[in-house]
């Protein structure tokens, strides 16, 4: 059988020499001690031990190996050679993702075997299999996110310290842990409802979480493949990203509260719509702050639009801008599906204020994205301006509203944050003016002035 060359290389590296026997001997000793400690009985009272070991080696050690799989190549200077080899981006993704973590999964198989022996006959077989599958899927998700974070960061640097790798490792753990908790609890039917309400139908909790995360893993692997293609200097279609945003918006739109005992009656719009709005808005800000805005890319965008090369323009168009139409659609849907009156600044309840507040919120997003890109273009894509832009926006959203609130100038808050007040137009007009000014400045800098000059050497 012909194996992926990158995967085969990692297998040779991970299973060399004594390492092949170290894992079963170490885990076997731990499991033997647990067995003897439990009066030589295999039952559910010690079934938590292999699960705990799985968590340690998968979410601590495995995420570290995934994050280091490309970073290590960069640090020792072999990554450029690898990109020029015959190994394509897809083979590289599979080789790095599953090859670099193969030794971890070797240990995980042993943990699952011991867990099965402890649980079979005492716990429902369906629960045992469900828990194992959930753990496997979440482990893969954590590894994908760690590798994706480290690979994406290579757009900005070509050398890495231990602390940076720790951050990428932490990103994988933080994405997987919250929903892993829900998935495991759902599989064991404890502490959470047994069903989830989605688009008018009830679904088994564990099955719904598992299905959701499985789809998310597929999308994460696709994202990893697209970022790898960028490393190979291959062009990606923006339609894939747009399809991803639409798919997660569709998923979130149908959600109802997971914890039905809590009251959500005070929400002016459906919970799923609010979750979708927050999710898409978060993606816009994440992309606006994290995407590459180097002078060469900005210059290419300027050149393509001036020469009417629409296809090439959209191919490298910032994903934050591509996501904005989806956000606008979500806001429009939210504004037209108000179900509860909105609480005004003095306790009044206004049903008609919700569309204005939602419109103001999306205008603030448009203003912020325009400001971030204006600062980037103005300073020819220099990295430090990203931090400056973020700090300025944080001050606008925190410092000034606090000052105005302390002075009890509540009507002026709509200049800095979406704020409900009796005069409906004053909810929108301040931010609409800011957005219009910044869009004008962005257009002037992006499409009128030259982003790069001859003296820049570009």
393-407 per-position pLDDT tens digit: 888 898 988 998 888
Residue 342: enclosing H or E segment and its boundaries? Answer: strand 342-343
329 pLDDT band (50/70/90 cuts)?
very high
Given 234, 266, 297, the domain boundary residue is 234
186, 62: one domain: yes
Compute the Cα dihedral for 430, 436, 439, 445 and give only its sign. Answer: negative
> What percentage of the chain reaches a pLDDT higher than 70?
83
Beta bridge partners of 343: 349
Q: What is the pLDDT of residue 457?
A: 42
Position 102 pLDDT exceeds 90 = yes
* Residue 387, domain member (yes or no): yes
Position 195 pLDDT exceeds 80 = no
30 pLDDT band (50/70/90 cuts)?
very high
Other CB atoms within 10 A of residue 285 CB? 17
Average pLDDT over residues 91-107: 92
Provide the domain limits for residue 385.
245-458
Greater confidence, 252 or 347?
252
Rg, Å, the chain Cα set:
26
* Residue 6, domain member (yes or no): yes
Helix 125-153 crosses helix 205-231 at what angle (to 10 degrees)? 20
Q: What is the pLDDT of residue 298?
A: 74
* Residue 260, domain member (yes or no): yes
Q: What is the pLDDT of residue 25?
A: 92
Q: What is the pLDDT of residue 454?
A: 43
Position 439 pLDDT exceeds 80 = yes
Span 363-397, pLDDT tens digits: 999 999 999 888 887 776 555 557 788 888 888 89
User: Is 67:146 a contact under the CB 8 Å cutoff?
Assistant: yes
Greater confidence, 168 or 100?
100
* Residue 397, domain member (yes or no): yes
CA-nearest of 182, 153, 179, 155 to 168 is 153
Position 108 pLDDT exceeds 60 = yes
Q: What is the pLDDT of residue 262?
A: 47
Q: Which pTM does this prediction carry?
A: 0.81
Given 214, 234, 254, the domain boundary residue is 234
Chain mean pLDDT for the chain = 81
∠ at Cα 368 (366, 371), nearest 5°?
110
124 pLDDT band (50/70/90 cuts)?
confident
Q: How many domains does the chain have?
A: 2
* Residue 240, domain member (yes or no): no
331, 368: one domain: yes
151, 284: one domain: no
Position 238 pLDDT exceeds 50 = yes
222, 282: one domain: no
271, 419: one domain: yes
* Residue 265, domain member (yes or no): yes
Please, what is the end-to-end C-alpha distance for the chain in angstroms? 48
Strand intervals (E) in 126-282: 195-198, 201-204
Burial environment of residue 369 by CB neighbours within 10 A (0 to 12, 13 to 18, 19 or more): buried
417, 315: one domain: yes
Given 234, 258, 285, the domain boundary residue is 234
170, 280: one domain: no
Span 109-122, pLDDT tens digits: 999 999 998 888 77
368, 429: one domain: yes
Using CA atoms, how far apart are residues 403 and 424, in angstroms rounded to an integer? 23
75, 199: one domain: yes
Q: What is the pLDDT of residue 382?
A: 58
* Residue 296, domain member (yes or no): yes
333, 265: one domain: yes
User: Is 137:217 a contact under the CB 8 Å cutoff?
Assistant: yes
User: Is 259:295 a contact under the CB 8 Å cutoff?
Assistant: no
Using CA atoms, how far apart are residues 195 and 4, in angstroms rounded to an integer? 41
* Residue 239, domain member (yes or no): no
266 pLDDT band (50/70/90 cuts)?
low
Span 280-291, pLDDT tens digits: 999 999 888 877
424 pLDDT band (50/70/90 cuts)?
confident
Residue 350: enclosing H or E segment and its boundaries? Answer: strand 349-350
Q: What is the pLDDT of residue 162?
A: 64
**SS3 category, 107:** helix
104, 156: one domain: yes
226, 330: one domain: no
The one-character DSSP state at 186 is: H
Other CB atoms within 10 A of residue 161 CB? 11
């Amino acid at each position: 059988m012909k194996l992926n060359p990158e995967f085969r290389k990692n297998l040779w590296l991970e299973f060399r020499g004594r390492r092949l026997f170290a894992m079963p001997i170490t885990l076997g000793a731990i499991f033997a001690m647990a067995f003897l400690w439990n009066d030589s009985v295999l039952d559910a009272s010690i079934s938590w031990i292999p699960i705990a070991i799985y968590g340690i080696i998968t979410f601590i050690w495995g995420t570290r190996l995934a994050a280091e799989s490309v970073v290590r190549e960069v640090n020792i200077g072999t990554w450029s050679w690898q990109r020029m080899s015959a190994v394509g981006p897809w083979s590289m993704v599979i080789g790095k993702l599953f090859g670099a973590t193969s030794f971890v999964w070797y240990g995980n198989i042993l943990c699952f075997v011991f867990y099965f022996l402890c649980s079979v006959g005492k716990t429902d077989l369906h629960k045992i299999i469900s828990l194992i599958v959930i753990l496997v899927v979440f482990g893969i998700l954590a590894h994908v996110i760690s590798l994706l974070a480290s690979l994406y960061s290579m757009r900005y640097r070509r050398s890495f310290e231990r602390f940076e790798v720790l951050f990428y490792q932490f990103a994988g753990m933080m994405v997987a842990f919250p929903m892993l908790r829900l998935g495991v609890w759902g599989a064991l039917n404890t502490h959470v409802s047994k069903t989830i309400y989605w688009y008018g139908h009830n679904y088994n909790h564990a099955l719904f979480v598992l299905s959701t995360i499985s789809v998310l893993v597929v999308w994460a692997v696709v994202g990893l493949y697209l970022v790898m293609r960028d490393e190979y200097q291959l062009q990606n279609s923006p339609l894939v990203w747009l399809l991803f945003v639409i798919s997660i918006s569709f998923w979130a739109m149908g959600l109802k509260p997971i914890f039905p005992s809590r009251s959500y009656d005070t929400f002016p719009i459906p919970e799923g719509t609010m979750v979708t709005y927050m999710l898409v808005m978060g993606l816009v800000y994440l992309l606006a702050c994290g995407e590459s805005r180097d002078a060469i890319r900005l210059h290419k965008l300027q050149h393509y639009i001036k020469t009417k090369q629409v296809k090439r323009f959209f191919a490298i168009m910032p994903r934050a801008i591509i996501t904005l139409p989806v956000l606008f659609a979500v806001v429009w849907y939210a504004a037209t599906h108000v179900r509860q009156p909105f609480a005004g600044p003095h306790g009044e309840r206004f049903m008609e204020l919700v569309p204005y507040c939602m419109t103001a919120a999306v205008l603030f997003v448009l203003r912020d994205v325009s400001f971030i890109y204006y600062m980037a273009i103005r300073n020819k894509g220099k990295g430090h301006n990203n931090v400056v832009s973020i700090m300025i926006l944080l001050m606008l959203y925190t410092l000034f509203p606090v000052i105005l609130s302390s002075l009890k100038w509540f009507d002026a808050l709509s200049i800095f944050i979406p704020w409900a007040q009796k005069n409906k137009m004053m909810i929108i007009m301040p931010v609409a003016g800011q957005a219009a000014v910044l869009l004008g400045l962005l257009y002037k800098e992006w499409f009128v002035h030259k982003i790069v000059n001859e003296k820049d050497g570009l």
